[in-house]
Amino acid sequence: MKQARKRRTYRELFLAKLKELAGGEPKLISNATLRTALRWDDEDRYRQIKRQLIAEGIIIAGRGRGGAVGLTDVTNEGLKLFISYSHSDEELKNELIKHLEPLRHRNMIEEWHDRKITAGKEWGKEISKELSSADIILLLISIDFINSEYCYGTEMERAIERHQKSEARVIPIILRSCLWQYAPFAKLQALPKDAKAVQSWSDRDEALTDIVDGIGKVAEELLQAK
């Protein structure tokens, strides 16, 4: 007697269709596109399954008009995020990295900074390699960054060059108050909100959360474009 074929669950159908639309690529699929492909009229069912899969870490949610979703198992490398900073701002840089963890948990970004250079490697070559392959470049702005020949001259100039060629997205992060408005990066939208220096906020965690939220929006935009 021929055994009846097991009917796939809605959950299995959801994941199968999402994999098909993504084509194995690290990109997000809009909710509207996925629902149309599934031919589901029941919006509550779609939302319920999506919430369950997000809670289990199987898929990630993206923003944008109507929202989007993506598979975590095909986005595990994330976007390369390069952090350019003065060592005088090491403490603030480390605090920012802590706040970036939610984006790493969602497999959206993988940050790099010069403290990741291991013994015996040529630091200049390593920095150049990482800077030239980054998808997002953060410039952590302070008077010490501006006064640093390497940060302001070498790293910033290369970052702006790649930004102008649309090879990477450069985001100035204003850490400490200084006269940065005449710098080459001044034309770029800075973080946190209203380019208010992190140290000027009464709650530093609030400032860093605002920064990471902005970085997350950029990451989602770039992932959807891939």
| 95 shares its domain with 21 | no
In a domain, 131, yes or no: yes
Asked if the structure places residue 2 within a domain, the reply is no
Kindly indicate the confidence band of residue 152, based on its pLDDT and cuts at 50, 70 and 90: very high
Look up residue 24 and give its two tokens.
């194995």
Q: 6-10, 46-50, 136-140: which range is least confident on average?
A: 6-10
- pLDDT, tens digit (0-9, with 9 covering 90-100), for 31-57: 999 999 999 888 899 999 998 888 877
- Crossing angle for the helix pair 43-55 and 10-22, to the nearest 10 degrees: 80
Amino acid 74: pLDDT: 54
pLDDT at 6 over 90: no
Is residue 125 a part of any domain in this protein?
A: yes
> Last residue of some domain: 49, 74, 99?
74
163-202: per-residue pLDDT in tens? 999 999 999 999 999 999 999 999 999 999 999 999 999 9
Output DSSP code: residue 121: S
**What average pLDDT does the structure give for the chain?**
90
- Residue 98 and residue 31 share a domain: no
Question: Are 118 and 212 within one domain?
Answer: yes
189 shares a domain with 163: yes
Q: What is the pLDDT of residue 225?
A: 72
Per residue in 53-87, pLDDT tens? Answer: 888 778 888 765 668 888 876 545 679 999 999 99
Cα separation values, 148 from 86, 92, 126, 181, Å: 7, 17, 19, 17
> Which residues span the domain enclosing 145?
79-225
Domain contains 190: yes
Distance CA 96, CA 210 (A): 11
Q: What would the mean pLDDT of 108-119 be, rounded to a whole number?
A: 93
- Chain length of the chain: 226
Q: What CATH number does the domain containing 121 carry?
A: 3.40.50.10140
Model confidence at 224: pLDDT above 80: no
pLDDT confidence of residue 75: 45
* pLDDT of residue 132 exceeding 80: yes
pTM: 0.71
Q: Is 1 within a domain?
A: no
The more confidently predicted of residues 226 and 162 is 162
Domain count, the chain: 2
The residue from 74, 94, 113 where one domain ends is 74
- Grade residue 4 by pLDDT with cuts at 50, 70 and 90: low
Q: Beta strand 169-174 with 136-141: parallel, antiparallel or unpaired?
A: parallel
Average pLDDT over residues 112-128: 95
- Encoding tokens for residue 11? 């959950």
Note whether 207 and 192 are within 8 A (CB).
yes
Query: Does residue 7 carry a pLDDT above 80?
Result: no
